Structure 1
Amino acid sequence: MKTKTIRRQALFALTGASLLAASISVQADNWRGWNIHPDGYPNTVALEAFAEAVKEQTEGRVNPRVYNNAVLGDQSDAIEQTRNGALDFANFNMGPMGPIVKETNVFSLPFLFTDVDHMHTVMDGEIGQRFADALEEKGLVVLSWFDSGARSIYNTKHPINTPEDVQGLKIRVMNNDLYVEMMEALGGNATPMAYGEVYQSLTTGVLDGAENNYPSFESSNHYEAAEYYSLTEHLIIPECLCVAKASWEKLSEEDQEIVREEAMKASAMQRELWVESSEESRQIILDHGVEINEVEDKAAFQALMEPMYENFIANNPGTGELIEEIRAAQ
């Protein structure tokens, strides 16, 4: 009797251990994904479709969940969390990636790309793969490249057609020395500021303007304060759908192939949605009375950036060749 009891206890212990191990295994496959954007944003829709498809195609072996609105931390923190495996995947803009991979600072140079299609050509080709390889060395596996449109200047004072129209305007820029240098080269007063503070600063006159793409200008309601949107299209910055290298290496080759394939589909979806969203946002701000103007002579703006390029190349040896390769890519 005693022997049967011991065997039964041992069996229960083994069963409990097996269940615990299975639970841990399942938990390890529950991927947490970081996203800065709100519900309904093109990136958000594409990321959530990616998560759902990966779960379905891997039959639950990988179960991703997207956390929107940067609830898991700001972008700089999320980059570090993904690199060390605390987060499993994310959609990152290349703008803040410079401290991790210095070469990515090149994307913060104004007028680097002629247009969004040119950016796609570069990032989907051999040059983009070189950036992906450099990011992987730092713990981020790039699966596909997302779009973030072209950034333009908007303000409360007047249309911008020439660099002289920027003179003296207090313009919010992202917290990056290159963006400050860019705006100052145009004669504006560059004002780095948290994105969440921009709306009130526009309404109170602390700022005269800012710069961003159509969907962000509209979704942030900045159009309620700034009635002039000028298509300078000075910055076109790619974004990545990245997976933590630690999470990636736990996958079987079969699941890696599935995840990469679904990431490519998500990229195609995001780009298509971005075009649709941009047009919808453009119409919304037009209906609200915002004046949108084309900038006919971008060469005048580009000419003022030459000293900035010279300084950048001097301080970052080897980037001159990279810049030429990007500009020549077709």
Structure 2
Amino acid sequence: MFEKLTAVSVAALIVGAPAAMAETLRFAYASNATPTVEAMQKFGELVAEKTSGDVTVQYFPDSQLGGERELVELVKAGTIDMTKVSGGLMESFAPVYGVFSLPYLFDSEEHYYKVLDNAEIMQPIYNATDDGGFVGLTYFNSGARSFYTTKAPVESVADLKGLKFRVMQSPTSIRMVELLGATPIAMGQAEVYTSLQQGVLDGAENNEYAITIARHGEVAKYYSYDLHSRIPDFMLISTRTLDRLSEENRQAVLEAAKEATEFHKGVWATAIEAEKQKAADEFGVTFYYPDLKEFQDAVQPMYEALKAEPEKYAVFEAIRGVAGSE
């Protein structure tokens, strides 16, 4: 759909919508897990509440205006005001985001939250795209990513050898899969189901929602908890939008974003367990728990290579330093 939409035609779609009393933030996003959709809606409620209705949020959900990459481009152009995308994609807009795609970066969910809530670490990353016309506002948990397959479970690194896996359009994710002995194929999420069904792919890697919401469990029955990464989702906003808001309303938007993240934390853990149960009961997916050490050992060259990228390595060290302070 998006290939036929120019910035002008997208603008035409959104101009025709009813305008708010003072300011309407146009927020477009791709398909998402229910807790994240709820958190984005919560953000809009909080913005309206904190600005007494002077600022409202209008949503364009489920890839109406394009996939995640196209939506970032629309935010950059100022055609829309906001979006929410995977941190894996963000690496192609600011290399420092690639740190979050590193395998086994976080020791636990607690470590993950401690880092993502640390403004000293995160604010420079959010600001890394400032010159590109947009910045990060906050994050949402996107769970731990693991491999799932169509023909046999992954119970060791050897089981990955020669298999074709869908990965995000992230150089870091691509390198990880290569080191594990598989063949990475970067493609959009919308193409994955058919590719699994037709044998173009042997598997993919994602959280449990891909099995149920994207219905990949209909064609991929083996889910292996290798837990190789925890890549956040990020909420982005156009710098033009921030600049045109009053100081008071800008602060309200920032506060609403942080509060939406706290709301999301409260609903995510319960929801992901429910999806795991649904994957087993409704889709017949079986879950496996391989020994993680050989997976961790296989990707160690990525950390050695990271030393050649000082900006990323400094963020990596800061993240690991937080782990050491727990």
Q: What TM-score, normalized by structure 2, do the two folds share?
A: 0.86
Contact 1:84-1:246 at 8 Å conserved across structures: no
The correspondence of residues 137-286 of structure 1 with structure 2, limited to 5 A, is 137-286=131-280
In structure 1, the partner of 2:64 is: 71
Q: Distance in 2 between matches of 1:257 and 1:71?
A: 29
Shift, 1:281, TM fit: 0.8
Shift, 1:228, TM fit: 0.8
Q: Distance in 1 between matches of 2:93 and 2:200?
A: 33
Moved more, 189-198 or 160-169: 189-198
In structure 2, the partner of 1:308 is: 302
Fraction of identical pairs, as percent: 35
In structure 2, the partner of 1:10 is: none
Name the SS for the 1:303 alignment partner: helix
- One-letter code aligned to 1:37: S
Change (3 A) 1:299 1:324: farther
Contact 1:101-1:138 at 8 Å conserved across structures: no
Shift, 1:310, TM fit: 2.5
Q: 1:326 aligns with which of 301, 315, 319?
A: 319
Contact 1:183-1:189 at 8 Å conserved across structures: yes
Shift, 1:168, TM fit: 2.0
Name the SS for the 1:145 alignment partner: strand
The correspondence of residues 48-87 of structure 1 with structure 2, limited to 5 A, is 48-87=41-80
1:4-57 alpha-carbon deviations (Å, 9 max, x no partner): xxxxxxxxxxxxxxxxxxxx995871210021125x721111111211331233
Shift, 1:65, TM fit: 0.8
Moved more, 162-171 or 48-57: 48-57
Name the SS for the 1:72 alignment partner: coil
Instruction: Name the Cα RMSD after superposition.
Output: 2.1
Q: What TM-score, normalized by structure 1, do the two folds share?
A: 0.85
Moved more, 68-77 or 137-146: 137-146
Q: Paired residues, what number? A: 304
Q: Which runs of 5+ in 2 are unaligned?
A: 1-17
- One-letter code aligned to 1:95: G
Shift, 1:267, TM fit: 0.8
Contact 2:29-2:61 at 8 Å conserved across structures: yes
Larger radius of gyration between Structure 1 and Structure 2: 1
Q: Distance in 2 between matches of 1:311 and 1:141?
A: 28
The correspondence of residues 107-126 of structure 1 with structure 2, limited to 5 A, is 107-125=100-118, 126=120
Q: Distance in 1 between matches of 2:318 and 2:52?
A: 42
Q: 1:291 aligns with which of 286, 290, 293?
A: 286
Name the SS for the 2:228 alignment partner: strand
Contact 1:143-1:243 at 8 Å conserved across structures: yes
Q: Distance in 2 between matches of 1:28 and 1:85?
A: 18
Q: Distance in 2 between matches of 1:141 and 1:197?
A: 28
1:166-209 alpha-carbon deviations (Å, 9 max, x no partner): 11222221223322221121111222233222222222322211
Name the SS for the 1:31 alignment partner: strand
